[in-house]
Amino acid sequence: MLMGRTLTEALRSLHVLDPKTDLAAEETHQSLSANGGSVQHSAITSTHNVSLALDVTIYTIQFIFCCHVPLLLACAAIPVALAAPARTFNITTTQDCFDYVIVGGGLTGLIVASRLSENPYIRVLVIEGGQDNHDDSRVYDVRTYGQAFESDLDYNMTSTPISWRHGTKLPMVAGKTLGGSGSINGASWTKGPKTQYDLLPLLTGDMSWGWDGLNQYMLGAEHFHTPSNDSKSKGADYDGYKHGYNGPVQVSFAQGMFGSIQQPALNASQQIWGLEHVDDAASGTVNGFTTIPNMVQPDQSQNRSSPYTAYILGEPEERDNLVILTGHRAVEIRWNNTCSEAEPDCVLTADGVYYQASHESERLFVKATREVLLAAGSMQSPQLLELSGVGDPAILNKAGVPVQKAIKGVGKNLQEQTKNTITYIPKSDDLEGSGPSSAIAFPNVHQLLGNTSSAVHAETLASLASYAADLEAQGLVANATATHELLKYQVANLFNQSEAAAEIFFTLAPKTDSAPATVGADIWNLIPLARGTVHISSNNSFDMPIIEPSYFKHPLDLHLQTLATRQAAQVYSTTPLADMINKRVFPSFDLQSYDAWQAFVKDTFTSVWHPIATLSMMKEEMGGVVDNRLKVYGLENVRVVDASVLPVQLSAHLSSSLYGIAEKAAAMIKEDQK
């Protein structure tokens, strides 16, 4: 079928080239033909099997390309599904190359890929372990929240065994699909307080990472829709000046997220904690009660607006310079040079990335002519660095990985929030609303601690130095002195009355054929002082990493989690909520004392799945792994663009901040192209 046709004509017929923009490719092909199929400098012969999704006919095209020919390279991959605009591919050659290779097709990876590929002469490859599941109801229907957890849409990682829970390993949910966890999470849109973002300039030496700098990128990602009159009548409120209106991700107040029990719960939070109404959880001031919008379409479908649907499928035109490879895992970064441990100032340069579909499949290589960008998340980005010989030599030597660059902070400083749930059966099954609630109370540490606040503050500060030393001795952080300073910053902000210490998410689940309607609360400690680690378990990239969150390692974490959970239960004992409740079913037994509630917390808590800080963006002398430009110290052309760079937790759901980080990362990378 392809006989007698030029390469460009053949590819155009398969919708691989745009007839409006492939003139340069045609001219290059003619030049190749005139020179006997050779190109000066690094010409590579490659055979590709191209499967056209429309008629499943298999074609074989043999051609020669060079990494420095912009449009031909976009044709160097093999489409297996023409899902416009950025198609997914299956690369079978070991000789392909791109300007940027992005490891991870989750929230941040797809945003950076979308922004970089706006330049048609920049070639971008995204390697993602999951698939395109945007038409799966577990992805697009936010009301099914939770059904994707511990499924084929999850990497199914677990924590190390919890000693007091008889060795139970807790799930560490991370989305294994295009859009990553941004395609399976609760879709909440909140921001932390300004004071927490303003810690970042102190840790990086770069003022642009503060609230004023980062918030402009969060606003740039957002397309906010004001609430309907009906939503307003149920409590939806907002400050129009705190939102963006021209970004890709749709942010709206979903009608189904409001029910008749949320407003009484919010009002009760005034009685329990003395909270005042906050008109917008994106305002940079988070201490009070509020209703929040979600990342859902504003139409009747109210489907999820995910990173994939917003930034990839939402683009008006296809981009042949953006290639998304699904069902594959990056297994190692290849280096152009070597650095011994005796050469601390030596700089490694990445050549590209090895990748595989499975442990048994062929190990393939793709070249990155500009940069390798890590966007695999707080668990898997440090894993890839360690598999590539970058990390703490003690960890690498134990796993049998040759040390290429010693960076002690890789995989350390992990910070993860904890969550408990309380559940009630209401007297009436006829409750408005469905799915996750939009009603949240954010008490601060003084409202939780009451008249013990000053004493707890003083005791916490007095023990921080010895606590930081213990963290370093146990290998949980890279530098005790710097960690002590960081913890002092964190405690100072925690005891600042403008910051929320806990989140109480008032929930509602409608009646089903098999279960009655329930109401309740999810409660989590927002700013844990515990520090954990994530490290490779072996030199096999398909072995899951060892994740040690060190839950409740600092006693204040358990104390605040216990108080917040106990006090959230008191909310449902207030009038008129108490008159709406039939009984409490979880915990089903009566708990009176503080010790009883603490035991309940320890026995039933889960992770919130907001892990951060395993490749912290901090000054190198503080134990940081990446600098203020997100470049890994000692690596010439490797950046990290995901949640692992956040050095401290936020009193917020992470999505809006990650959208901002990704947008800012893309802008910085573009600046550095000049």
pLDDT at 482 over 60: yes
Residue in this structure with the two tokens 């990493």, named with its chain if needed: 545
Return the pLDDT at 434.
63
Question: DSSP state, 362?
Answer: P
pLDDT at 67 over 60: no
What average pLDDT does range 393-420 have in this prediction? Answer: 97
pLDDT at 431 over 90: no
Using CA of residue 472, residue 477, residue 483, residue 489, what is the dihedral sign?
Answer: negative
609 annotated to bind ligand: yes
Mean pLDDT of the chain: 86
Q: Is 287 helix (H, G, I), strand (E, B) or coil?
A: coil
pLDDT tens, residue by residue, 566-587: 999 999 999 999 999 999 999 9
Among 187, 131, 136, 189, smallest CA distance to 155 is for 131
pLDDT at 4 over 50: no
What average pLDDT does range 305-327 have in this prediction? Answer: 91
pLDDT at 54 over 60: no
Token pair in block for residue 533: 């680690």
251-255, 334-338, 668-672: lowest mean pLDDT where? 251-255
Among 351, 273, 382, smallest CA distance to 636 is for 351
What average pLDDT does range 218-243 have in this prediction? Answer: 92
565 — pLDDT class (breaks 50, 70, 90): very high
What average pLDDT does range 277-306 have in this prediction? Answer: 93
What average pLDDT does range 657-669 have in this prediction? Answer: 99
pLDDT tens, residue by residue, 506-523: 988 888 888 888 999 999
55 — pLDDT class (breaks 50, 70, 90): very low
* DSSP per position, 188-254: B-----HHHHTHHHHHHS-GGGSHHHHHHHHHHHEEE-PPPHHHHHTT----GGGS-BSSSEEEB--
Backbone angles phi, psi at 325, to 5 degrees: -100, 110
pLDDT tens, residue by residue, 618-634: 999 999 999 999 999 99
Return the pLDDT at 91.
53
524 annotated to bind ligand: no
Residue in this structure with the two tokens 């970004």, named with its chain if needed: 247
Return the pLDDT at 88.
53
What average pLDDT does range 604-609 have in this prediction? Answer: 98
Give the chain's end-to-end CA distance (angstroms, integer): 43
pLDDT at 26 over 60: no
Active site residues: 610, 653
SS (H, E, C) 492-551: HHHCCCCCCCEEEEEEEECCCCCCCCEEEEEEEECCCCCCEEEECCCCCCCCCCEEECCC
Return the pLDDT at 254.
81
157 contact partners, CB below 8 Å, separation of at least 6: 171, 172, 174, 379, 544, 545, 547
pLDDT at 3 over 60: no
Return the pLDDT at 318.
80
pLDDT at 65 over 50: no
Distance in angstroms (rounded) separating the CA atoms of residues 389 and 382 = 11
What average pLDDT does range 478-487 have in this prediction? Answer: 96
pLDDT tens, residue by residue, 179-211: 999 999 999 999 999 999 999 999 999 999 999
SS (H, E, C) 369-414: EEEEEECCHHHHHHHHHHHCCEECHHHHHHHCCCCCEECCCCCEEE
Token pair in block for residue 469: 């030393």
Which amino acid is located at 282 in the chain? A
Cα separation values, 72 from 21, 28, 64, 92, 177, Å: 11, 8, 9, 17, 28
What average pLDDT does range 281-295 have in this prediction? Answer: 93
Detail the DSSP E strand segments found in 82-230.
Answer: 88-89, 96-103, 124-128, 157-158, 171-172, 222-224
Among 292, 290, 287, 291, smallest CA distance to 274 is for 287
H/E run at residue 72: helix 70-74
Return the pLDDT at 510.
81
Question: What proportion of the chain, given as a percentage, has pLDDT over 70?
Answer: 85
pLDDT at 72 over 90: no
Distance in angstroms (rounded) separating the CA atoms of residues 206 and 475 = 28
pLDDT at 50 over 50: no
Distance in angstroms (rounded) separating the CA atoms of residues 192 and 649 = 9
Among 126, 215, 223, smallest CA distance to 179 is for 126
Distance in angstroms (rounded) separating the CA atoms of residues 271 and 261 = 16
pLDDT tens, residue by residue, 144-159: 889 999 999 999 999 9
Among 277, 561, 612, 242, smallest CA distance to 419 is for 561
408 — pLDDT class (breaks 50, 70, 90): very high
What average pLDDT does range 125-129 have in this prediction? Answer: 97
Residue in this structure with the two tokens 């949910």, named with its chain if needed: 173
Q: For residue 280, with 0-12 CB atoms within 10 Å meaning exposed, 13-18 middle and 19 or more buried, which class applies? A: buried
Return the pLDDT at 246.
98
Distance in angstroms (rounded) separating the CA atoms of residues 633 and 29 = 41
119 — pLDDT class (breaks 50, 70, 90): very high
Distance in angstroms (rounded) separating the CA atoms of residues 207 and 447 = 32
